[in-house]
């Protein structure tokens, strides 16, 4: 690896990133965000230094208080002396400066803390590649020695759901008084929730939201399995038994099966945040300390590998088949061939190369 015209070599870049030099980290993140061969070379070189971070997904409806709660979580982990990386996949997030002034002021206390690194990913311009980008950004932060990496996403859309597959634990933030919040959220998010936080508990309706969630968890077992199966997802709802009633367990014994606990908090005041942190600690212990937890971790890794493989295969096939692909589309359009035969031929042509 040679150094030409002031361009640092790969080992130099890696050394600077591992030393958490802010400019080097920023440049590395831009590189992996863009993707491509240079990014792969960097990610391969960083890989041996990854695997230490605990990745926490924070998701939920817009305005539920995700960023406010993240801010509290950062403070809680910093109080333990843990370095925290944050990836905010959310254009309206206070991290990006897009939202309320109060949030920006609150965030600034972390901006001056070199134990915290906050990166926002714009959802625009990422057609399909957002999941990959978020996953790779998480890996860079992991390699840099951020022991906790928080990924905040709005819980709508397939991309956002996929991003939660990157996480070891997923916190779903709900808020009362936003209409049909439980209904709106159940379809996709419920199946990936490890811990629920009913935020804005200072508002009317928090009890109802908690009750709705409890009911949904107790009734949801079968429907969640059916839903997951229909979508071909190996969610933990299937793998570990998303069951009710919750297994009572003393603080030092870990349950065989994980049932998402429902916590309440007022993130804006910091009330109840300790409970959220404790529930997350417990889930982390479960993931690391039980066979079911480890199986769940492997299942998510499997999903990530499949997602990456799908992307790589599509890219390779589109690149290799080029004109043949256009011809197949034309033939199907002219009804000269049925789409199934057309696909079979394309797959055969790709395999033969």
Ligand X SMILES: Nc1nc2c(ncn2[C@@H]2O[C@H](COP(=O)(O)OP(=O)(O)OP(=O)(O)O)[C@@H](O)[C@H]2O)c(=O)[nH]1
DSSP string, 31-79: HHHH-SHHHHHHHHHHGGG-S-PEEEEEEESTTSSHHHHHHHHHHHHHH
The interface with Mg ion within residues 83-142 (CB under 5 A) comprises 90, 93
Of 262, 133, 256, which is closest to residue 193 (Cα–Cα)? 262
- Decide: helix, strand or coil at residue 169: strand
Candidates 103, 142, 194, 240; binder of ligand X (CB under 6 A) is: 103
- Considering only 67-75, 106-114, 181-189, 306-314, which stretch makes contact with Mg ion by CB under 5 A? 67-75
- Rounded distance between C-alpha atoms, residue 170 and residue 319, angstroms: 36
Indicate whether 110 belongs to the interface with ligand X (CB under 6 A). no
> What is the distance between the alpha carbons of residues 281 and 263, in angstroms, rounded to a whole number?
13
Q: Is 116 among the residues that bind ligand X (CB under 6 A)? A: no
Bridge partners, residue 263, by sequence: 197
Q: Interface mask (CB under 6 A) for ligand X, residues 239-278, using x and -?
A: ---------------------------xxx----------
Rounded distance between C-alpha atoms, residue 187 and residue 156, angstroms:
10
User: With binding defined as CB under 6 A, does residue 63 bind ligand X?
Assistant: yes
Q: Smaller CB distance to ligand X: residue 186 or 233?
A: 186
154 binds, among ligand X, Mg ion, none (CB under 5 to 8 A by kind): ligand X
DSSP letter assigned to residue 338 = -
Residue choice 100, 105, 312, 347 for contact with ligand X (CB under 6 A): 100
Site string for ligand X, 153-182 (x = CB under 6 A): -x----------------------------
* Choice from 39, 59, 61, 67 touching Mg ion (CB under 5 A): 67
- Which secondary-structure segment (H or E) carries 197? strand 195-198
State in angstroms the smallest separation of the CB of 42 from Mg ion: 28
Residue closest to 224 by CA, chosen among 207, 241, 246, 249: 241
Least spacing, CB of residue 199 vs Mg ion, in Å: 12
Q: How far apart are CA 163 and CA 129, in angstroms?
A: 11
Tell the smallest beta-carbon distance from residue 2 to ligand X (Å).
Answer: 44
Give the footprint of Mg ion on this chain (CB under 5 A): 66-67, 90, 93
Contact residues toward ligand X (CB under 6 A) are 62-68, 90, 92-94, 99-100, 103, 154, 199-200, 202-203, 266-268
């Amino acid at each position: 690896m040679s150094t030409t015209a002031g361009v640092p070599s790969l080992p130099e870049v890696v050394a600077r990133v591992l030393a958490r030099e802010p400019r080097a980290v920023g440049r590395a993140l831009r590189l992996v965000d863009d993707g491509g061969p240079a990014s792969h070379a960097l990610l391969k070189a960083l890989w041996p230094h990854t695997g230490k971070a605990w990745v926490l997904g924070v998701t939920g409806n817009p305005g539920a208080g995700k960023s406010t709660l993240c801010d509290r979580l950062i403070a809680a982990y910093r109080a333990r002396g843990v370095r925290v990386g944050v990836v905010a996949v959310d254009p309206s997030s206070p991290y990006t400066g897009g939202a309320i002034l109060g949030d920006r002021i609150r965030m600034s206390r972390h901006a001056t803390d070199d134990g915290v690194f906050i990166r926002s990913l714009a959802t625009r311009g990422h057609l399909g590649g957002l999941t990959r980008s978020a996953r790779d950004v998480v890996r860079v932060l992991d390699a840099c020695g951020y022991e906790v990496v928080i990924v905040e996403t709005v819980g709508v859309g397939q991309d956002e759901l996929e991003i939660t597959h990157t996480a070891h634990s997923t916190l779903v933030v709900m808020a009362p008084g936003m209409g049909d919040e439980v209904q709106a959220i159940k379809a996709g998010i419920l199946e990936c929730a490890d811990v629920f936080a009913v935020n804005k508990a200072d508002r009317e309706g928090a009890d109802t939201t908690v009750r709705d969630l409890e009911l949904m968890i107790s009734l949801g077992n079968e429907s969640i399995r059916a839903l997951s199966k229909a979508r071909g997802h190996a969610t933990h709802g299937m793998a570990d038994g998303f069951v009710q009633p919750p297994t009572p367990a003393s603080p030092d014994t870990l349950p065989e099966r994980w049932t998402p606990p429902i916590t309440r908090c007022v993130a804006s005041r910091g009330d109840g945040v300790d409970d959220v942190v404790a529930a997350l600690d417990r889930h982390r212990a479960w993931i690391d300390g039980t066979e079911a937890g480890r199986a769940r971790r492997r299942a998510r890794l499997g999903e990530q590998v499949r997602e990456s493989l799908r992307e790589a295969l599509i890219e390779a096939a589109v690149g290799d088949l080029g004109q043949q692909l256009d011809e197949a589309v034309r033939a199907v359009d002219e009804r000269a061939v049925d789409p199934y035969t057309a696909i079979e031929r394309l797959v055969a042509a790709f395999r033969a190369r």
